[in-house]
């Protein structure tokens, strides 16, 4: 059986994030090092990040703000501005 050589790497990670990851991987029967090796091997197989990276789903507060902005934009009774100078002129009242 051929012996594989290994090397050490150092990764900076938020302390709470590391603890949460370690707890999860322990539940899955592995440590952080094994999980990282799985990630790297899968990345090499797929020739990229082995999962979709996206901006995610906005939280309730963000969705609420987006809906409010949409409502305001469609509301003809809300004054709009064509340029910054017009806005600042109103603010100086």
pTM for the model: 0.54
pLDDT at 93: 67
Classify residue 51: in a domain, yes or no. Answer: no
Output the 3-class SS for the chain: CCCCCCCCCCCCCCHHHHHHHHHHHHHCCCCHHHHHHHHHHHHHHHCCCCCCCCCCCCCHHHHHHHHHHHHHHHCCCCCCCCCHHHHHHHHCC
For 43-93, what is each residue's pLDDT tens digit? 999 999 999 887 778 889 999 999 999 999 899 898 888 899 988 988 886
The total number of structural domains in the chain stands at 2
Confidence band (pLDDT; 50, 70, 90) for 42? very high
Verify that 19 and 41 share a domain, yes or no: yes
Residue 53 lies in a domain: no
Task: Show the domain range for 32.
Answer: 15-46
| pLDDT value of position 52 | 85
**Is residue 81 one of the residues assigned to a domain?**
yes
């Amino acid at each position: 059986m051929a012996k594989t050589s290994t090397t050490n790497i150092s990764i900076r990670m938020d302390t709470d994030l590391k603890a949460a990851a370690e707890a999860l991987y322990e539940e899955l029967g592995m440590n952080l090092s094994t999980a990282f090796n799985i990630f790297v091997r899968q990345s090499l197989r797929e020739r990229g990040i082995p999962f979709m990276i996206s901006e995610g789903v906005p939280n309730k507060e963000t969705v609420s703000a987006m809906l409010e902005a949409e409502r305001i934009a469609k509301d003809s009774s809300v004054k709009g501005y064509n340029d910054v100078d017009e806005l600042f002129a109103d603010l100086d009242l």
